[in-house]
């Protein structure tokens, strides 16, 4: 299923992009769908910004403005987004009462900035103003004298004025003269549609687990938070670690115990393997078998290619090389989202590094591209005669490793 969001740039007086507003879209039509429930739209943009899209990529590392309805504000649904990077934009339909004012104070205490959308000066908006950092004024709906009155009213306050729906150079000049310092509208840029295939909910936990396993240091609290969202992940991992392959003298009863027994690097390896196997549960069994065999093949090549000590990285390169087929998203997006090490990243996305050549050799051997196999083996210093035995052993290992 494709998921869509539009983003529209917000500029400063030097015409630099300082933020993006994220807008709900149901498809490639660049408009808010008629009849769409605002609460649903607001919650969906917030959720998709973090789960389906990579938040940093979607906002290019800048702040994000997100529309917030009364329900989303009071239930704190926006809090999954990073506080210092998010401006919650109160829709004009949010009335100021005890509950909403308390919710805005909570948001401010948590570090979120607050913008008032379609702002007009009247008693209804007055209670929100002391807590707002940005007032968005619709230049198509607000007459010139009223725009200037808002500028005069806020001139001595620590508050920014954002001119939205600016469509002409004259609008920009009028806004600057009235003290507006932020600008948004078709004069600068129309909303840009961004789409991405949604990761099925059943696979999100595995992607998050894979992401944690790729960190420079394992953060056990974060790993446990991921596992708590899908208890079956812990069950599968413990079942696998208690299989005959490991030959423990006593049963492993917790993942912390497994980490101590295995050590960090092997734990990363086996945890990643379980994550990949989980992501192939709805795919043909052959995909899991090929991924595991390829990972083992790449790992076994390391001693022959003078890459001793790089076995884990080679294993991960082989294991993750089928991610696009497992999740239905481009490999570049997934690699960025998971946050693999630079070496693994380069190995997955190119052939100019030693790990990239190892992956390319594994793929060439699978495809029986013998001329290519000879070229890559020579580049790596790997004797071609050793490759058939490595391939047979790797396939047998993968078949034995897969749960029956």
Q: What pLDDT, on a 0 to 100 scale, did the predictor assign at position 1?
A: 45
Average pLDDT over residues 272-287: 72
pLDDT of residue 280: 72
Instruction: For the chain, give the mean pLDDT.
Output: 77
User: How much of the chain, in percent, has pLDDT values that exceed 70?
Assistant: 76
* DSSP per-residue letters across 324-339: HHHHSS-HHHHHHHHT
Of 209 and 126, more confident: 126
**In the listed set 166, 197, 228, which residue is the last one of a domain according to the structure?**
197
Token pair belonging to 5: 């969001």
* Residue 27 confidence (pLDDT): 38
Phi-psi domain of 48 (left: phi exceeds 0; alpha: psi -120 through 50; beta: other)? alpha
The Cα 333–Cα 229 span in angstroms is: 23
In this predicted model, which residue has the larger pLDDT, 42 or 293? 293
Q: What residues pair up with 160 in beta bridges, in sequence order? A: 134
Mean pLDDT calculated for residue range 355-378: 88
Residue range 268-281: mean pLDDT, rounded: 75
The angle formed by the CA atoms of residues 321, 322 and 326, to the nearest 5 degrees, is: 145
Angle between the N-to-C axes of helices 255-262 and 231-241, in degrees from 0 to 180, rounded to the nearest 10:
40
Q: Are residues 225 and 115 in the same domain?
A: no
> Is residue 227 domain-shared with residue 146, that is, in the same domain?
no
Q: Are residues 150 and 251 in the same domain?
A: no
> Of 73, 75, 3, 85, whose CA–CA distance to 44 is shortest?
3
For residue 293, the model assigns a pLDDT of 86
Q: What is the CATH number of the domain that holds 260?
A: 1.10.3210.10
Question: What confidence score (pLDDT) does residue 102 get?
Answer: 93
Residue 101: helix, strand or coil by DSSP? helix
User: What pLDDT was estimated at residue 40?
Assistant: 55
169 with 269, same domain? no
Read off the CATH number of the domain in which 164 is found.
Answer: 3.20.20.450
In this prediction, residue 360 carries a pLDDT of 92
173 or 206: which carries more pLDDT confidence?
Answer: 173
Residues β-bridged to residue 87:
65, 113
**Domain assignment of residue 115, given as a range:** 2-197
Q: What local confidence, expressed as pLDDT, does residue 255 receive? A: 67
Q: What is the mean pLDDT of residues 65-82?
A: 82
Distance CA 63, CA 396 (A): 50
Q: Which helix (H) or strand (E) holds 162?
A: strand 160-164
Can you give the C-alpha Rg of the chain in angstroms?
A: 27
The encoded tokens of residue 70 equal 């009364």
- Same domain for 159 and 259, yes or no, is no
Mean pLDDT of 68-76: 83
In this predicted model, what pLDDT tens digit does every residue of 144-162 receive, in sequence order?
899 999 988 888 788 899 9
Q: Is the domain of 151 the same as that of 233?
A: no
Give the model confidence (pLDDT) of 207-266 as tens digits.
777 777 777 777 777 777 776 666 666 666 677 666 655 666 667 776 677 667 777 777
Question: Do 266 and 367 belong to one domain?
Answer: yes
169 lies in the same domain as 280: no
Q: How many CA atoms lie within 13 A of 95 on its CB side?
A: 2
CA distance 138 to 278: 49
155 and 211 both lie in a single domain: no
Q: Which of 25-34, 116-125, 148-157 comes out lowest in average pLDDT?
A: 25-34
Looking at the structure, tell me whether residues 44 and 178 fall in a common domain.
yes
Q: Is the predicted pLDDT of residue 29 greater than 80, yes or no?
A: no
Residues 26 and 57 both lie in one domain: yes
Question: pLDDT class for 194, splitting at 50, 70, 90?
Answer: very low
Q: Residue 271, class by beta-carbon neighbours within 10 Å (0-12 exposed, 13-18 middle, 19+ buried)?
A: buried
**Mean pLDDT value across residues 20-39:** 51
Q: How many domains does the chain have?
A: 2
Q: What is the pLDDT of residue 5?
A: 59
Please say whether the beta carbons of 91 and 125 come within 8 A: no
Q: For 341-359, what is the mean pLDDT?
A: 85
Same-domain check for residues 119 and 48: yes
CA separation for the pair 189, 348 (Å, rounded): 35
Predicted confidence band at 392 (pLDDT cuts at 50, 70, 90)?
confident
């Amino acid at each position: 299923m494709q998921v869509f969001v539009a983003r529209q740039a917000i500029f400063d007086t030097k015409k630099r992009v300082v933020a993006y507003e994220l807008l709900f879209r149901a498809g490639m039509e660049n408009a808010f769908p008629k009849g769409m429930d605002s609460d649903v739209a607001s919650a969906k943009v917030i959720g998709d910004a973090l789960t389906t899209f990579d938040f940093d990529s979607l906002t290019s590392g800048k702040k994000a403005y997100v529309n917030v309805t009364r329900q989303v504000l009071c239930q704190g649904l926006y809090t999954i987004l990073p506080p210092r990077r998010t401006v919650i934009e109160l829709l004009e339909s949010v009335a100021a009462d005890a509950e909403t004012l308390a919710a805005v104070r909570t948001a401010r205490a948590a570090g979120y900035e607050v913008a008032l959308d379609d702002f007009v000066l009247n008693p209804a908006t007055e209670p929100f103003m002391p807590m707002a950092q940005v007032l968005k004024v619709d230049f198509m709906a607000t007459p010139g004298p009223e725009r200037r009155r808002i500028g005069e009213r806020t001139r001595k306050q620590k508050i920014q004025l954002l001119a939205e729906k600016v469509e002409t150079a004259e609008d920009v000049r009028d806004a600057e003269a009235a003290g507006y310092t932020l600008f948004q509208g078709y004069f600068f840029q129309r909303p840009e549609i961004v789409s991405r295939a949604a990761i099925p909910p059943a696979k999100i936990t595995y992607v998050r687990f894979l992401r944690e396993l790729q960190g420079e240091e394992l953060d056990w609290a974060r790993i446990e938070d991921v596992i708590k969202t899908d208890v079956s992940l812990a069950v599968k991992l413990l079942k696998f670690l208690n299989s005959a392959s490991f030959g423990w003298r006593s049963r492993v009863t917790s993942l912390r115990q497994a980490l101590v027994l295995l050590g960090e690097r092997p734990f990363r390896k086996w945890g990643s393997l379980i994550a990949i196997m989980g992501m192939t549960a709805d795919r043909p069994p052959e995909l899991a078998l090929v991924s595991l065999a390829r990972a083992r093949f790449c790992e076994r090549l390391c001693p022959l290619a003078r890459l001793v000590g790089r076995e884990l990285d080679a294993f991960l390169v082989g294991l993750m090389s089928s991610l696009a087929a497992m999740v239905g998203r481009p490999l570049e997006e997934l690699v960025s989202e998971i946050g693999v090490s630079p070496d693994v990243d380069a190995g997955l996305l190119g052939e100019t590094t030693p790990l990239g050549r190892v992956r390319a050799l594994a793929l060439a051997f699978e495809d029986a591209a013998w001329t290519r196999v000879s070229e890559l083996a020579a580049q790596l210093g790997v004797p071609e005669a050793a490759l058939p035995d490595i391939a047979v052993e790797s396939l047998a290992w993968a078949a034995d490793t897969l749960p029956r």
